Structure 1
Amino acid sequence: MGISDVIGLLKEVQSLAQDIKSKPLNDAIVNLQESVIGVGNDYLELEEKYNKLRKRVETSDNVYLDDDGFVCEKGKKSKYCPKCWNKDRKISLMPKHGIETFASQEVDKPYAFECAGCGWIVYSSKKDL
C-alpha cells in the first residue's frame, strides 16, 4: 500500500466521519492526512537521495586506476585526476601532454601531468596520454 492509497483511504474515512458529524473526529482525520502528506514528502526526498547515491555507486564500478595512477573509465581513453575522484567523486580531466620534470633522480617517471582542478600531479613514463 502506497502513500496515495493511504490518502485515498483517509478521504474515505473522512466522508464517513462527516456522516457521524463529529468535529473532534474530523479534526483528527485532517491532522492524520497532513501527517501522511508530510511522510510522503519525506519519502520523495529520501528517494531522490537514494537515487543520487545509487548513481555514485554505479559510476564507481566503471572507474579504475591505471598503472600510472590515473583514474580511467572503462571504455574511454581519457585520464582523470585521482585526487578529485577520491575526495569528491568528481571526474576532472587531466592534460593530454605531460611536462618533462628533469628530476629523474627523484621520480622514476619523467613526465608530470597536473590537474587543472586541484593541482595534483601524476607522473608517467609516457609524454602523451
Structure 2
Amino acid sequence: MYFHNNYSVYPCNPRDNPLTKAFFFFRDRTALSPDKAIKMDRYDWMETGYRSGDPNKFIQLMPFIKEVSGKYYVDAKEFQPWYENKVKMGNKIGITLIIGLIAFVLLIVLLGILEIL
C-alpha cells in the first residue's frame, strides 16, 4: 500500500459512496487533526474489502474507522496491522493455489506416463 503525503483536508462520510470519495487516516490516535492526516484514496479503500452493501454495517465491522466531530477518519495505528495481515493472508492463499496447481499438473503428467507404460 502506498501512503502518500497529501496534507490537504478532504474528510468524508463513509455513508457516502467511499469508492468516489477520499479518506484520510492518521499516524496515531493523538494526531486527530486535519493537518496531520494522510490521504487514503479510493483504491486503498477498495483494498479494505468494501464493495457494496450497508456502509453502516461496514463501519461497525472495521475497527480502524473513527468518528471525530461528526467526520470519519481511518486510524493508521489500527489500519496498518489490519492491512498488513490481510496482505499476508492473500499471499498465503496465492502460494497455496500455485502449489496445488503444480501438484495437479504433475499428477496428470504422472498418470499419462503410467498409461503409456
Instruction: Name the TM-score, length of structure 2 as normaliser.
Output: 0.38
Q: Which has the larger radius of gyration?
A: 1
The higher relative CO (CA closer than 8 Å, separation ≥ 6) is in 2
